[in-house]
A and B are shown apart, each in its own frame.
Chain A
Amino acid sequence: RKEVEQDPGPFNVPEGATVAFNCTYSNSASQSFFWYRQDCRKEPKLLMSVYSSGNEDGRFTAQLNRASQYISLLIRDSKLSDSATYLCVCMDTGRRALTFGSGTRLQVQP
């Protein structure tokens, strides 16, 4: 079983739609969580951190449920430019290395 599991998608949504991605992690020692974005043939880049209380950054909302070991990302009012792969990422602070999921591919269509 992978340490970080994501639905690979693709999620095909129209512009303006709301879409949600989920992620589960198996390492209970994971303490910090992030969403990264990776455009096709590009390097991953940090989208946002995920805090226990939930956090929002513009159209993006991240949630963490430690009891269920579950992380989510909600994108409202999808734009064509949101088309990318979204990587769920965990960090065990004892290790300092990030563990990436396989990613969920989003395609926003006009």
Chain B
Amino acid sequence: DTGVSQNPRHKITKRGQNVTFRCDPISEHNRLYWYRQTLGQGPEFLTYFQNEAQLEKSRLLSDRFSAERPKGSFSTLEIQRTEQGDSAMYLCASSSTTGGANTGELFFGEGSRLTVL
């Protein structure tokens, strides 16, 4: 399968613990995005990378959240000192820029579901 891969698919943790999610994008894609989705809502933008550079972070992303894409390939999203409000589906997506054009097509992974008890 050459799509976007995320793991773990499910994570249950206790409040106050740290969690880390990994995303492996489609190999030729240079852009990588993290979104968060809760029940009944659309995906909410968190941050995005072009190659290894983190170009934008949502103001919703508190200082407990950090994302990296050290070699411009896979990315990790870490949440420190988790809170119950962090419970959500964390979606990773990737896209490519072809000739400078952006078609708006993001390829999403199946997501990592976080439950904070």
Contacts and interface: CB of A to CB of B under 8 A. Distances in A.
Interface string B79-117: 000000000000100000000001111101111000000
Given A96-B55, A96-B102, A43 B44 contact: no
Nearest to A105: B40
Chain B contact residues (Cβ within 8 angstroms of A): what range?
Answer: 20 to 34
Interface residues of A, number: 23
A43 B110 contact: yes
Interface of B: 31, 33, 35, 40-45, 48, 50, 55-56, 91, 102-106, 108-111
A98 B40 contact: no
Contacts of B111: 43
Interface stretch (A54-62, A65-73, A87-95): A87-95
